[in-house]
Amino acid sequence: MATVEQHKVIDSRGSFCPGPITDLFKAYRSSQLGDVIELLATDPAAKADVTAWVQKSGNELVDIIDEQGYIRIVVKITKKRS
Amino acid sequence: MAQVTQLRTEAKAEQTERLLIILSKGTMDMVYPALMIANTAATMGKEVHMFFTFWGLNAVNKKTVGSMKVSPVGNPGMPMPNILGMIPGMTAMATRMMNGKMKKAKVATIPEMFKMAKDLGVKLHACSTTMEVMGTPKETLIDEVDDVVGAATMISLGEGGQIIFI
């Protein structure tokens, strides 16, 4: 059973708490183990919030990249809730 | 600042898996935070319960859920003297302003947030005493409400978990 790992980009720019987390969670629900989700956000709380979500849900925070006017948060799905 | 938040989350991560939010107020500025916290907690894998009592019951009433208001009276946070808030039309104005700002920040409406809550598995409980006192039959509650319960059920739902009273 070979599945191709997906790389999704979710654009939550302009949306504030809890928007980015909700968007991330929606992507997480439709994802498979090994998938990578890239979240774009302008909400200043997104960094801390996604970090907290990742810790709580047991997934992996790959990177947080500061771009011009927004941040790119890369999350790898390493745990799916049953 | 982010660092502190992170450490606290780490320390707490292992403990509580359940969250109970008791909502006793029926204004937009009380209902929104309750729903935001509930929905976010649910995405973090918590079992979330919301208990609607007193004016909080208006939040799950079909007639009022879509028209929650912000009151400038008795609200020192509003950028106007309290006495002005009593002028007719001020509540409507404050509500309109808040709705506009919420839309700009791409925050979902309260009915949309209830749908989302349901989708995320949040359980909604209505207080039986309030329903009796306010003359609110079960049929007037939004479909998302799971059941009608009393204080004892609420206490047992909150046992061993986090409780937030609004």
Q: What is the ipTM of this complex?
A: 0.70
pLDDT tens, position by position, B30-77: 999 999 999 999 998 899 999 999 999 999 998 888 888 888 777 777
Identify all chain A residues contacting B122, using CB atoms and an 8 Å cutoff.
Answer: none
pLDDT tens, position by position, B71-97: 877 777 777 777 777 778 888 888 888
Closest CB to B2: pick one of A22, A47, A55.
A47
Closest CB to A48: pick one of B5, B107, B116.
B5
Q: What percent of chain A has pLDDT over 70?
A: 95
**B3 Cβ partners below 8 Å, 6+ apart?**
none
| pTM of the predicted protein model | 0.78
Residue A80 CB coordination number (10 Å): 14
Which chain A residue has the Cα nearest residue B109? Answer: A19
Distance from CA of A64 to the nearest CA of B (A): 13
Domains of chain A (ranges, CATH numbers): 7-76 (3.30.110.40)
Residues of A noted as catalytic: 17
CA B38 – CA B41 distance, rounded (Å): 5
Which residue's entry shows tokens 């890369």?
A74
Identify all chain A residues contacting B45, using CB atoms and an 8 Å cutoff.
Answer: 56-57, 81
The answer to whether the CB atoms of A21 and B43 lie below 8 A apart is: yes
Residue B72: helix, strand or coil by DSSP?
A: coil
Mutate to test the interface with B, among A56, A77, A81 (most CBs of B within 10 A): A56
